[in-house]
Amino acid sequence: MSYFRTKKSAAVTPNYTGMDIQTSSSALPIPIIYGTTRAAPNILWHDGFASHAQHSTAAGGKGGGQTVSSYTYSTWIMLGVGEGPIKAIGTIYNGQSVLPYGAYNLALMNGATPQDVWGQAQGAFSYAALHYNGTAYMASSYYDLGSNASIGSIAFEVYGLSAVATPLNAYDSDPAAMLYDFLTNTQYGVGFPAESIDAAALFGATGDASYQTYCMAIGIGLSPALTTQETASTLITRWLQLTNATAVWSGGLLRIRPYGDVSLSGNGYDYMPDTAPVYDLTDADFLYEDGRDPVQVARIDPYSLANIQPLECFDRSNRYAATPVYAFDQDAIERFGMRMGANISAHEICDLSMGVLAAQLILQRALYIRNTYTFKLSFEYCLLDPMDIVTLTDPVLGLDRTPVRIIAIEEDSNGSLTVTAEEFPGGIATATRYPAQGASGAVLNRAAEAGSVNAPVIFEPPSALSDGSLEVWVALSGARNQATGAEWGGAFVHVSLDGASYTQIGEISSPARQGLMTSALTSAMIDGLDVTLSQGTLASVSQDEARNVVTLCYLDGELLAYTNATLTASQSYALSGLVRGLFGTMPMDHAVGSAFARLDDAVFKYSAPPGYIGQTINLKFQSFNIFGAGVQDLSDCAVYSYHLSGNGIRGPVTAALLLGTSLDYGVIAAGIGEADDFGTLSEASVTIIALGSLP
């Protein structure tokens, strides 16, 4: 079964001799994927391109002969995912189609080191059976390319590198573990020595001030996919900005220090910041320069600061669509006017509420930390580090044990330390987490599986409608699949005599107007036919149009037409002005629940071989959605059996009357051998036919 199946075309020759490539480049870096995010693959290899003829039986043809109606295509393929080992592949996206892992006959090679070769390729294409150690890829020996020989815009939901745990939730990576792996991993890392990382500042346990504890307690996780070339310093700077932290190099160690300044609890972690001042600095501690105050202050104009911070992240609940979120400060907007900040690209964040939290922390830090202090200290304060808290006392500036946070320290040739610090208002480095609303409205999934069909109306029309051939008419409709949300778009029709092997005989692309009677109807009634349709509408016509069977309907064995159709409820109609017993059928009594169908172009017509008369055929209707995809598995389709009686076949007398009798009896001297039920032409008839009598 094809997952890219479209409507049948009239073409009977292959249109393609090769695959339409999506992405295959030797210049692209191998992606590094942490957490859970969406990533497009790179084609590593493909071979074994093949075309497959699609046969069908024309519904209006004679004898049910099969013809080639179109072609589908397949190939062997390997799709590179990224550095391994990865954990798993979740959803597979192809344009607007969304299907679970396994739907495209793809198997995951997770990228372990060492990694076994793909066994199927080893047997068929030995030259391609490579180990690909450390590279995760998806492979298929029959990748369905559909009818256009294209792989499509395929992407995978990747559960990233196994080396990084996800204690926060089932998706996002712990930023501390991710940062450590990125710096030190010998396969794809930066090559930073592990012994040069302050592990105590990076990792911790509940109750400390480590970076890991802060991220877990505040509830921020990251899921980056490094698919393009970018410097490591740029990446790390962005990750730290999004998680409200900074990197400090001190004493030969790299330390990651969060800006969090209040105690936090969440996700099983308690964060306890170290905000105790290291020194209380006064005029006695500062180094003076001639003509300058010991403490220099710079203040940013609040009218120049942004009070709305946009941030673009991914929305995992909406197929990882890039979605903007905003943080704003209403008080600053009312006091200084609206100021929009520069947009921050944060595709490492795949949860909208995390995106709002990160944007709020960035906004608060930029908006409320406006004072910067610069002062000089002697070398005896050399143990100070950036991110340490000290207090400043300067009566001239009105500072009285005012806490500040050191952000930079420079040493000159004399050993003097020039210190730059920022104001430290408590609580600014913490924000409340609010829920975020993503994109609303319907999200299309072109591959969503369609629902099963409604019970079809199956019958043999009289010869006046079948032109004397053996035909089976089917009125069919379907309903919306409540589980997947897919609307019913039609069905492929399959037939079988033995109930085991099925052959496709056609396609239904329009729902019929079928339903059930909701009140009884006697053979003498010409009004009072009440029906409820599964879908569609019925319209009234003139009396002459009804007599000319413009509104021809099937009602449980009887053919009739109606004049008036009055809507009585949703999908329910009262039909009146009935013309009963059309085309040789007899007006009958019909009970509640009898099958009803409006006979129009939506009715499927199957010309069966004459040899099928007296046999029972089994029909299956394989539903697809309104996009021609989401095709049901044939084994899941219900079987509908029908016994063919040959109702529409013309008898020999009718055929003879329509064709006439040949008047060429040969040469004059020869005898005439023509005969009928009354004898030969040369003898008298003794048969008496009673034609009835007058009343």
Question: What does 114-171 look like in DSSP terms, one character per residue?
Answer: S----HHHHHH-GGG----TTEEEEEEEEEEEETTTB--SEEEEEEEETTS---SSSS
pTM, two decimals, is 0.76
Burial of 46: CB neighbours in 10 Å, binned 0-12, 13-18, 19+: buried
Pairwise pLDDT comparison (37 vs 484), residue with the higher score: 37
pLDDT band at 657 (very low <50, low <70, confident <90, very high): low
Task: Give the pLDDT score at 669.
Answer: 61
Q: What is the mean pLDDT of residues 523-543?
A: 95
Task: Report CA 543 to chain centroid distance, whole Å.
Answer: 50
- Supply angle C-alpha 486, 53, 611, rounded to 5: 90
Query: CA of 141: how far to CAs of 49, 78, 104, in Å?
Result: 10, 9, 10
The mean of the pLDDT values for the chain is 88
Let me know: does 138 contact 106? Beta carbons within 8 Å: yes
As a whole number, mean pLDDT of residues 369-397 equals 95
For residue 667, count CB atoms less than 10 angstroms from its CB and return exposed for 0-12, middle for 13-18, buried for 19 or more. exposed
Half-sphere exposure of 395 (CA within 13 A, CB side): 2
Closest to 299 measured CA to CA, from 244, 368, 360, 241: 368
67 or 205, which is more confident: 205
Residue type, 113: T
Q: 60 versus 383: which is more confidently predicted?
A: 383
User: For the CA atoms of the chain, what is the radius of gyration?
Assistant: 40
Q: What is the pLDDT of residue 435?
A: 64
Q: At what angle do helices 211-218 and 175-184 cross, to 10 degrees?
A: 140
- For residue range 553-608, what is the model confidence (pLDDT) as tens digits? 999 999 999 999 999 999 999 999 999 999 989 999 999 999 999 999 999 999 99
Mean pLDDT of 17-35: 76
Q: How far is CA 95 from the centre of its chain?
A: 8
- The span from the CA of 476 to the CA of 15, in Å, is 33
> CA 593, CA 517: separation in Å to the nearest integer?
5
- Parallel, antiparallel, or unpaired: how do β-strands 66-83 and 42-57 relate? antiparallel
The whole-number pLDDT of residue 276 equals 94
Q: Is 253 helix (H, G, I), strand (E, B) or coil?
A: strand
Name the band, by pLDDT with cuts 50, 70 and 90, for residue 695: very low
| 11-25, 132-146, 628-642: segment of lowest average pLDDT | 11-25
Calculate helix-pair angle for 232-242, 175-184, nearest 10 degrees. 170
The predicted structure's pLDDT at residue 693: 47
Span 306-330, mean pLDDT? 94
Give Cβ neighbours of residue 650 (< 8 Å, ≥ 6 apart). Answer: 463, 468, 658
C-alpha torsion angle, residues 54, 60, 66, 71 (rounded to 10): -20
Determine the average pLDDT of the residues in 220-242. Answer: 95
679: its two tokens? 């004898």
pLDDT band at residue 344, thresholds of 50, 70 and 90? very high
- The per-residue pLDDT for range 409-465, each reduced to its tens digit, is 999 998 999 999 999 988 777 776 666 666 665 667 888 888 899 999 999 999 889
* In contact, 443 and 318? CB cutoff 8 Å: yes
Task: Take residue 680 and report the two structure tokens written for it.
Answer: 């030969």
Tokens of 272: 């306890």
Q: What is the model's pLDDT at position 164?
A: 87
Q: pLDDT tens digits for 151-198?
A: 888 999 999 998 888 778 889 999 999 999 999 999 999 999 999 999
Q: Which two tokens stand for residue 39?
A: 């990533």
